[in-house]
Amino acid sequence: MTIRHDGVSAEWLGYAGLRLEAGDGTVVYLDPGRYGTLTGEWRPDSPSATHPESRDYRPEDGDLILVTHDHHYDSEAIRRVAGEDATAVVYEAVYPPNIDREGGSLDELPCEVVRVGEADDRLFGDVVVRSVPAYNEPNGPHTGPDGEPFHPEGFGVGYHVTLPGRAGGGDGAVDDVTVFWPGDTDALAGHAELDVSLFCPPIGGSFTMDRREAADLAEAMDPDLVLPVHYDTFEALETDSGAFAADVAGRGVPVVLDED
């Protein structure tokens, strides 16, 4: 299903994958792939999982592909979504040789690769990409048996993306739309201060903020629309998305679910 918001379309592709299309036709992918979500191989652990069905997805239409950290780096997925003149924006700590699965070299990707740091602002055509720190708090709820965060500080980022939306007044000006995918992270100080129109939080818990923490952040952030992702892909990410939507709506924040 495709969600339309102020001239920008958004589609949850499964797991953390998100496809955005700007009002001018620019296509941006965030963290596409893994677990067979784009190859047709993914199957839910639970029959009640509310998650987009997997499919053999190869549009090769992406202008920008944004990768937050090692866990979401999937070179085959990038090949499936990258257009002819695509640019992959990859956080500087992503290091395929250390990934404990077949990740594929960055040098072998069919597109230009641009590395970004933890708090960079970059302009790609008419799209502004801002990287934002993403991590689990030490001594917080999202740590392993050894007490270490699943995502320590410096391991990954989120992305705040500014896209051309729909035309505004009669002067032909275009209103920008800001989209925020926080990455695999807790709700952090500073998130609520961001100017966000479309907020796409992870709500699966276990390794990231859960649905209640994401709802608290949505209320504090007060975006124009909330579209949750990163849940129900496997057992550890299973959650009640309907309860999340009801919680957010009850706080006066518009919310939509993109589910099959």
Contacts of 33 (CB under 8 A, 6+ apart): 15, 17, 72, 74, 76, 77, 78, 80
CB of 94 closer than 8 Å to CB of 134: no
258 lies in some domain: no
| CATH code: domain of residue 10 | 3.60.15.10
User: What Rg, from alpha-carbon coordinates, does the chain have?
Assistant: 17
210 lies in some domain: yes
Structural domain containing residue 135: 3-250
CA distance 197 to 189: 19
Regions of the chain with pLDDT less than 50: none
98 lies in some domain: yes
Give pLDDT, residue 79.
96
Give pLDDT, residue 172.
58
256 lies in some domain: no
257 lies in some domain: no
259 lies in some domain: no
pLDDT in tens, 220-244: 999 999 999 999 999 999 999 999 9
Give pLDDT, residue 171.
59
CA distance 99 to 94: 9
Number of folded domains that form the chain: 1
127 lies in some domain: yes
Give pLDDT, residue 169.
56
260 lies in some domain: no
